[in-house]
Amino acid sequence: MADINKKFLVGVYDDDDVALAAVKKIKSAGVKIYEVYSPFAIHGMDTAIGHPRTRIGIAAFCFGCTGFLCALLLTTWTMGIDWPMVIGGKDPLSYPNYVPAMFELTVLFTAFGMTFTFFISNGLGPTVKPLLFDPRCTDNKFVMAIDLSKNKLSETEIESLIKASGAEEVSVKQL
């Protein structure tokens, strides 16, 4: 999340390919890009901006393992220790019977865990005010935000780079 009272230079693009090429061109000039906002995911944009590879798959695996272990403990405790019942002449601890329940709890824990992880890691929530540089980025435009305090080039140099990269408009936003 950006600090209050920061000055950003915002470039608005009309096409995703132009925006991706602009990011590569501007990054090669030594400009640090704060973020690029788009109405849909652009293949290759995360690597072009310099975002590291996500480790969210590791979290998903951990949540899945937790769900599986909880299901295993639940079925073992309820059907084997606390209230053993012989159903259909089978052993109370016949684990093949509990595979569907184990699968469902694995999926449930993974889904809820990933949802909460996504919201927490992205700083989202019902009380968070979104950082929106241009409302059209949720509809049909691609917006590049550059924090001027984090760059060595002057505002006019960065503005000319953005215009030369194909931006429809360039503006300064104070947040």
Q: pLDDT tens across 29-87, in order? A: 999 999 999 999 999 999 999 988 888 999 999 999 999 999 999 999 998 888 888 88
User: In 3D, which of 6, 1, 9 has the Cα closest to residue 165?
Assistant: 9
Q: Is the confidence at residue 89, as pLDDT, over 90?
A: no
Average pLDDT, the chain: 91
Mean pLDDT for 121-127 is 85
pLDDT of residue 40: 94
CATH (domain of 13): 3.30.70
Q: Please say if the pLDDT value at position 3 is more than 60.
A: no
Does the structure show a pLDDT above 80 at 154?
yes
Q: Which domain holds residue 104?
A: 55-122
pLDDT greater than 90 at residue 27:
yes
Rounded to two decimals, the pTM is 0.72
CB 142 within 8 A of CB 38: yes
**76 and 110 fall within a common domain:** yes
* Same domain, yes or no: 65 and 47: no
Residue 1 falls within a domain, yes or no? no
Query: Do 61 and 102 share a structural domain?
Result: yes
Q: What percent of the chain has pLDDT over 70?
A: 98
CB 106 within 8 A of CB 71: yes
Q: Does residue 2 have a pLDDT over 70?
A: no
Task: Report the domain count for the chain.
Answer: 2
- Residues 113 and 141 occupy one common structural domain: no
Compute the chain's Rg from CA coordinates.
25
Q: 53-58: long-range contacts at Cβ-Cβ below 8 A with a sequence spacing of 24 or more?
A: 56/114, 56/117, 56/118, 56/121
**What is the band of 4 on the pLDDT scale with cuts at 50, 70, 90?**
low
